[in-house]
Structure 1
Amino acid sequence: MNTEAILEILLYKLEEGTGNEFHKIMVEQSIPLHEKEKMKVISYGQSLHNPDSYYLIREYENSKHLENSQRKFYSNSEWLNGPREQIISKIKTSTQSIIPKTSLEYL
């Protein structure tokens, strides 16, 4: 097990009534781009308590891998000319937490 591995947990509060459309964009456009760029998405989706609350969990080898992967992903023309604006326009607030993957080993 890579003891330097980290998880990035993103929590989004979406504009009211946009959760279902946001999820469709994630499934059809954003997640395939993540996969194409070899970004490891652990889980994503709407919260059980509110369809306009959303989460995205990604895994990285270490902090440097996170920085390099995201710089590459977010500067990619397929992202910039693809789902970027549709996604960003629906996010009201975003919270990011980075945790060591080992903190979840007993779950």
Structure 2
Amino acid sequence: MILELRTYRLKPGTRADFVRVMAEEAVPLLEAAGIRVVDHGASLVDEDGHEEAYLIRAFDSVEQHRSQEDAFYGSDVWRQGPREAIVSRIESLHSIVIEVAEGAVEAFKRS
């Protein structure tokens, strides 16, 4: 399994709305597109006083990660949907992609 851990440094005062839009709009669209969302939400600790959030997704392979991400982020459903509400609140983002056992993916899910 491939696990992507994405962190977002957000513009001041935007985290609550970012997390809400992610939960109510973006995640359902990601899942409808076949992308496995493991977890998402607000960081418990802010680095250097910046508001932060995260998104964890799982894929079967690096190739699947690339193809699903390209298809989703190039789609009208994303571009005409919550894209602006998400992107406008992001100051910067960082993403790492690692290979893990299926059990590790399950361990990241909130109970």
Q: TM-score with structure 2 length normalisation?
A: 0.85
Give 3-state SS (helix, strand or coil) of 1:43's partner. strand
1:12 aligns with 2:11: no
Give 3-state SS (helix, strand or coil) of 2:71's partner. helix
Structure 2: distance between partners of 1:42 and 1:60: 10
Give the unaligned 5+ runs of structure 2.
none
Q: Cα RMSD (Å) of the superposition?
A: 1.7
Structure 1: distance between partners of 2:102 and 2:96: 13
Map of 1:52 onto structure 2: 51
Q: How does 1:76-95 map to 2 (within 5 A)?
A: 76-95=75-94
Q: TM-score with structure 1 length normalisation?
A: 0.88
Report how far residue 104 of structure 1 moved.
7.0
Structure 2: distance between partners of 1:91 and 1:77: 20
Give 3-state SS (helix, strand or coil) of 1:11's partner. strand
Report how far residue 103 of structure 1 moved.
9.5
Cα distance 1:68–1:23, how it changes in 2: closer, same or farther (>3 A)? same
Paired positions, count: 102
Where in structure 1 do 4 or more consecutive aligned residues deviate above 3 Å?
none
Give the unaligned 5+ runs of structure 1.
none
Give 3-state SS (helix, strand or coil) of 1:48's partner. coil
Report the identity percentage: 31
